[in-house]
């Protein structure tokens, strides 16, 4: 998407942090902004700030884990602005602790927001984008979705799921004029550490031993300004990037994550299909992925093939060619 003027962006978790940074970035590019957030006082402050900056904006109080509320937010956005063109599923909660120590309530609360909130946005807003035949869906994951975080197992699991879902959606709607991006930021100055206070009463905090407190770096220069994140996401959407990674300082950690995976690959391809396997339908495995690799935040295609069915399609094609 290149032309933002007069179009509309819907942003969850938009009253502070990265959501507010993206609201200002897309608003300055000429978009109308519909802010959604669960905290009314911050929502009012954010809306006032956008209006003061000359940005056309409106706001709605929203718990992203509430499916009915998400449907109402979509309807309200269309009622207010007519169409929606960029949907940013940004809302998230910070929950630390080991997987082995987590209670069902821990899982239900954090899953409902960190993963379910993205699912709900897809369910309610993607049909609108498809009906228009244009638009862009953005999901905010985390660097924790690409590389493990010590004592942050629940958070990493949910953010990895958001990455995988975004990759799948990218292949599914690429031929319909709809872009998909997943943001994987590192450390950013946000209030995510305060989100435990928003935990609903029916999903109380686990009484099990908590994980040791994280020893976060105290140097404020290590935490990116949310406004800078917003600018980087804007550029990523302009470039139709699948992956938007904000912190190149994490490149060694990403390499360390994937090098063992590559080294664990078998030395030779499998001998053949299992008994009774009939193979793909004529024409190979289906894929709507665009030609070439997905693009990174720098706007340059990477070496990896597009995710999704296209990977299996390439494997099948290689096997068919070898047997020809």
Calculate the average pLDDT of the chain: 80
- Is the predicted pLDDT of residue 21 greater than 90, yes or no? yes
Q: Which residue has the higher pLDDT, 177 or 220?
A: 177
How much is the pLDDT for 298? 41
Determine the average pLDDT of the residues in 232-236.
94
Q: Report, in this order, helix, strand and coil percent for the chain, each rounded to 5.
A: 45, 10, 40
| All structural domains of the chain with their residue ranges | 8-206+236-256
Where residue 139 falls (left for φ over 0; alpha for ψ -120 to 50; beta otherwise) is beta
Residue showing tokens 């935990």: 199
Q: Are strands 8-12 and 86-89 parallel, antiparallel or unpaired?
A: parallel
Determine the average pLDDT of the residues in 300-324.
51
Say which range, 32-41, 237-246, 302-311, has the weakest mean pLDDT.
Answer: 302-311
Residues 6+ apart with CB under 8 A from 2: 238
pLDDT tens digits, one per residue of 270-285: 776 667 666 655 554 4
Longest dimension (CA), the chain: 68
pTM for the full predicted model: 0.80
- C-beta of residue 171 within 8 angstroms of C-beta of residue 309: yes
Out of 104, 155, 170, 243, pick the active-site residue. 155
How much is the pLDDT for 320? 60
Nearest 5°: phi and psi at 310? -60, -30
Positive or negative, the CA dihedral 149, 110, 308, 269 is positive
pLDDT tens digits, one per residue of 76-123: 999 999 999 999 999 888 777 788 888 888 888 889 999 999 999 999
Determine the average pLDDT of the residues in 248-268.
84
- C-beta of residue 8 within 8 angstroms of C-beta of residue 134: no
Q: How many CB atoms lie within 10 A of CB 99?
A: 13
- CATH classification of 8-206+236-256, choosing from 3.40.718.10, 3.40.50.880, 3.40.50.720, 3.30.420.480? 3.40.50.720
CA 234/CA 98 separation, integer angstroms? 34
- C-beta of residue 84 within 8 angstroms of C-beta of residue 10: yes
Specify whether 155 is catalytic. yes
Cα end-to-end span (Å), the chain: 42
How much is the pLDDT for 319? 57
pLDDT band, very low/low/confident/very high, at 154 (cuts 50, 70, 90): confident
Q: How many CB atoms lie within 10 A of CB 256?
A: 10
How much is the pLDDT for 282? 54
């Amino acid at each position: 998407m290149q032309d933002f003027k007069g179009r509309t962006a819907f942003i969850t978790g938009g009253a502070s942090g990265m959501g507010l940074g993206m609201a200002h970035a897309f608003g300055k590019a000429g978009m109308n902004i519909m802010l959604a957030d669960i905290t009314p006082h911050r929502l009012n402050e954010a809306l006032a700030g956008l209006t003061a900056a000359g940005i056309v904006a409106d706001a709605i109080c929203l718990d992203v884990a509430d499916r009915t509320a998400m449907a109402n937010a979509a309807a309200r956005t269309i009622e207010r602005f007519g169409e929606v063109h960029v949907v940013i599923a940004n809302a998230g909660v910070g929950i630390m602790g080991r997987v082995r120590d987590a209670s069902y309530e821990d899982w239900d609360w954090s899953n409902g927001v960190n993963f379910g909130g993205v699912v709900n946005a897809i369910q309610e807003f993607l049909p609108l984008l498809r009906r228009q035949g244009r638009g862009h869906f953005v999901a905010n994951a985390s660097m924790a979705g690409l590389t493990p975080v010590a004592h942050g197992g629940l958070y990493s699991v949910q953010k990895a799921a958001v990455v995988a879902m975004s990759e799948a959606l990218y292949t599914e709607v690429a031929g319909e004029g709809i872009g998909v991006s997943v943001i994987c930021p590192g450390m950013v100055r946000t209030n995510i550490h305060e989100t435990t206070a928003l935990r609903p009463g029916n999903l109380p905090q686990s009484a099990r031993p908590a994980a040791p407190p994280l020893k976060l770096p105290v140097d404020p220069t290590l935490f990116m300004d949310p406004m800078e994140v917003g600018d980087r996401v804007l550029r990523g959407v302009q470039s139709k990037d699948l992956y938007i990674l904000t912190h190149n300082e994490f490149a060694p950690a990403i390499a360390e994550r994937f090098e063992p995976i590559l080294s664990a690959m078998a030395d030779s391809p499998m001998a053949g299909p299992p008994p009774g396997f009939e193979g793909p339908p004529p024409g190979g495995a289906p894929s709507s992925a665009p030609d070439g690799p997905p693009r990174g935040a720098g706007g340059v295609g990477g070496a990896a093939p597009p995710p999704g069915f296209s990977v299996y399609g390439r494997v099948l094609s290689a096997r068919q060619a070898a047997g020809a």
